[in-house]
Chains A and B, each alone.
Chain A
Amino acid sequence: MSKITEKQLISQLKQLKEIKPNKEWAVLLKSKIITEQKPVVIKAQSISFTDIIRSVFYQRKMAYSFAALFLMVVGVLGFANYTMPGDLLFPVKKIAEQSQAALTGQSGLRQNVAVLNSRINDLAQVSKDGRKDSISSAISEVETNVTALVNNLKTGTADATTIKEIVSSLKTLADVPGTDLSTNQDVKDLYQAVVQAQIADLNKATLTDDQKEVLSEIQELYLQGKYTDALEKILLINQ
């Protein structure tokens, strides 16, 4: 091949500028890279954005729902705590008491005594407020719980603390004005069970001559079926 000067070579090199990509391919590539990626990118952004919004909204919605439910439950329980037998939300109060007893591990006789104590307090409050429409429901609740306690006393053994609590409850019950439940058979049975347990304890205890004399009177009253009187004397000895 003939010699080529540097100038000629450079001139020929510059002519290589004629090498160009296919126009259709170049346009298509641009479209693919920029335009066609756009919907994909936007779609991806859109999905992630809406997902985030939905997620946040959903989480907030859930949080608000739980908060509302929580407040509602707390509100109902709080309000139910002040209800009395015969009120619409009184069953809720009983459920709450049962749940509380379960949580504190309270069961059996002690739970019976605690519930009876609550019902006697309800009765005392209803009587004090003069809510005549609620008194019958309150008495009914007390009787139901007395029956349950008597049944449990027949099958189980009550410790001294429980007996003292029952005595305290019976004393409160006896003090409620206008509600004489001493003739109620279950209440009588409860008195009998308590007096019987107390006499047994006193027999084991070391007593003075005076106390032994009172104990004899208590036993007499017990045999006569005068459990209320017997219990009053027992309380005197214990003092």
Chain B
Amino acid sequence: MSNLEEQFGQIYDQYIEKIYRFVYLKVNSQEVAEDIVSKVFLKGWEAYKAPGSNIDNPGAFLYQIARNAVVDHYRAKGRAQVIGTMDTEIADPGTNAQDMAILSADINNVKKGISRLKKEHQDIIIWHYLEDIPIPEIAKLVGKPEGTVRVTLHRGLKELRDIIQEG
């Protein structure tokens, strides 16, 4: 295995769960999530091995590809406008069978609530609370000031709590 493959292999191992989780919570389908994540890492690998490639932050790079891939997915399905308002079952049968044994009903409600959040709130909540990405790094990811991210995070958390309590 070449040096590049080894390096990207380590990046893959480090981010596969995070990216999958990030995508899954947005698309609510194991099959779709797997399809999108495959594309994300394939694109990531192609960019990584490209001559002259200089990816300083592989995590940020993969998250950016994932965000774009999810947007593309919804555009393709003509559902981009209703992402934040759709009220679908949280997980598809495949994930449901696997996850439901682990996740309690409350947590499943949280998952459902996340899927109903605005896109900007979704991203920041997932990154900060699930992936433990600090605010300054999220600010870099979204290209916004840290203060704005903190406000967005606070609003997102409030929105999520409201959704869950309404549910």
Contact = CB atoms under 8 A, between A and B. Distances in A.
B165 A30 contact: no
Contact of B34 (A1, A15, A21, A35): A21
A4 interface: yes
A6 B37 contact: no
Interface residues of B, number: 42
Interface string B97-115: 0110011101101110010
Contacts of B166: 1
A29 B37 CA distance: 9
A16 B107 contact: yes
A130 to B, nearest CB: 76
B38 to A, nearest CB: 6
A17 B125 CA distance: 12
B16 A19 contact: no
B110 to A, nearest CB: 5
Determine the main DSSP class of B at the interface with A.
Answer: helix
B1 to A, nearest CB: 8
A3 B165 contact: yes
Interface string A75-92: 000000000000000000
B33 to A, nearest CB: 8
B17 A9 contact: no
A3 B162 CA distance: 9
B130 A20 contact: no
Contacts of A26: 16-17, 20
A26 B33 CA distance: 12
Contacts of A38: 1, 5
Given A6-B157, A30-B9, A21 B107 contact: no
B111 A1 contact: no
B153 to A, nearest CB: 11
Contacts of A17: 21, 130
B12 A4 contact: no
A159 interface: no
Given A3-B165, A16-B110, A30 B21 contact: no
A34 interface: yes
B55 to A, nearest CB: 15
B41 A9 contact: no
A205 interface: no
A33 B15 CA distance: 14
B82 to A, nearest CB: 22
A10 B45 contact: no
Contacts of B98: 22
B109 to A, nearest CB: 8
A129 B122 CA distance: 107
B19 to A, nearest CB: 9
Interface in B1-30: 1, 5, 8-9, 12-13, 16-17, 20-21, 24-25, 30
Nearest 5 pairs between A and B by C-beta? A21-B20, A13-B129, A12-B110, A18-B102, A15-B107
Interface of A: 1, 3-4, 6, 9-10, 12-22, 25-26, 29-30, 32-35, 37-38
12 contacts: A6-B157, A10-B157, A15-B110, A16-B111, A20-B17, A20-B20, A20-B21, A21-B20, A26-B16, A29-B41, A30-B9, A34-B5
